[in-house]
Structure 1
Amino acid sequence: MLRKLLAALVVIPLLAVWAAPAAAHGGPVVLDAAGDGATGVTVRATYKKDGHPVDNQVLRLVLNATGEGGRTVGPIQLAPATEGHGFYTSGSVLTPGRWTIVVTSAEPNPGRAEATVEARVAQTAQPAANPRTEPSEGGNGWRWWVAGAALLLGAAIALAVGARRRALR
């Protein structure tokens, strides 16, 4: 009987600690919306209760945007992003210019975020110069010839010294 009581005293607090994080999830969410640097929108979603990222399969986020000149986009459902849990992305949905975006999530995880973003044409990276194929300034190719000649000369001297020592013995 004493063993069962001691086991219960150990197991019950462990179960409470183990179940607490799962119980904290759910309910309202905090949404942080921003532009992605080009023509898309990214959102980070966390639970309001504990700040943990929202599981991407739980939340349904909807984007609506209003741009200059009365342009509108949406409603668009955001897809989970590859950055990890709690990140969502729209892809390229905006045209260049200033936009007011509103992202909402419905019950049982209500949330809302509003932000002003500047959509820009996506930039492409310039190809990096490949030092192995680009000619170097000043024509340093002659240095390889000098190094090769020095190596051959050193090998010839070593062979001659070795042959001379063998001949003297």
Structure 2
Amino acid sequence: MTTQRGVLVDGRTVARAVLVAILAAFALAGVSTAMPAVAHGGDLKVDLGTDGAGGIDASVTWAGDGHPVEETVDLTVTAVSDDGEEVGPIQLQSASEGVGWYRSEPGVLSEGHWTITATATEPAEYEGETEIDVAAPPSPPAPEPSAEPSVEEVAADGTSGDQAAAAGPDAGDGLSTWAIAGLAVLVAAGGLTAVLLHRRRRAR
């Protein structure tokens, strides 16, 4: 009986130990699952840049874990150039790039070196500065040369391209036709005159 009781006691002890281990495992699993949610919050991290067209964009993450801030961020920026030009404050709006991205309208900054100050009040307070360079917009392509004569060319020539074309081969052909017709009239007149003179001489 003593041996059986000893075995029974050992079995209960093992069962209790297994139960405690299972409960501890569930507790650890619950803690690990809740850790990412607990990690959110604290300080914000705001990375500022330009969109290439004079606009300002920002990426907002939690400084603790680097995850994008899913809550709405009340974010404004002011900018000062090296030439003393001041812009803002400008309220940045949520952008379509994804969670935690914010953007201004394009063209708010001109070409040059700028110091931008970002300020947030929600979901946490933040203030920081970033220096960025804004490049000049690309130059428009040069227009293709036109086949039409310029005003200077028309003035120097004394006539337009259409007038020159109208006075070209067709005009020459018209002059040749009139010359031939006139010559034929002269020849006919001369022949008629000769015939009349010949008749007058015979009549005498």
1:103 to 112, 118, 138: 118
Is residue 66 of structure 1 aligned with residue 80 of structure 2? Answer: yes
- Show the 5 A alignment for 1:26-41: 26-41=41-56
Instruction: Flag as ranges the 4+ runs of structure 1 deviating above 6 A.
Output: none
Q: Mind listing any 5+ residue stretches in structure 1 that lack a counterpart?
A: 127-169
Q: 1:125 and 1:24, CA in 2 relative to 1: closer, same or farther beyond 3 A?
A: farther
Report the structure number with the largest CA radius of gyration.
2
Q: 1:90 and 1:124, CA in 2 relative to 1: closer, same or farther beyond 3 A?
A: farther
| Structure 2 counterpart SS, 1:45 | strand
- Normalization by structure 2: what TM-score? 0.52
Shift of residue 97, structure 1, vs aligned partner: 3.1
Q: 1:75 and 1:48, CA in 2 relative to 1: closer, same or farther beyond 3 A?
A: same
Shift of residue 23, structure 1, vs aligned partner: 0.6
Shift of residue 99, structure 1, vs aligned partner: 2.1
Q: Deviations over 1:19-60 (max 9, x none)?
A: 1000111111111111222211111222111121211x3322
Return the alpha-carbon distance in structure 1 between the equivalents of residues 42 and 31 of structure 2: 20
Return the alpha-carbon distance in structure 1 between the equivalents of residues 63 and 131 of structure 2: 23
Output the aligned Cα RMSD: 2.8
What's the counterpart of residue 51 of structure 1? 66
The answer to whether the 8 A contact 1:30-1:112 is kept is: no
Return the alpha-carbon distance in structure 1 between the equivalents of residues 139 and 97 of structure 2: 21
What's the counterpart of residue 75 of structure 1? 89
Is residue 9 of structure 1 aligned with residue 24 of structure 2? Answer: yes
| Structure 1 counterpart SS, 2:35 | helix
Percentage of pairs with the same residue: 34
Q: How many aligned residue pairs are there?
A: 125
Question: Which structure: greater helix fraction?
Answer: 2
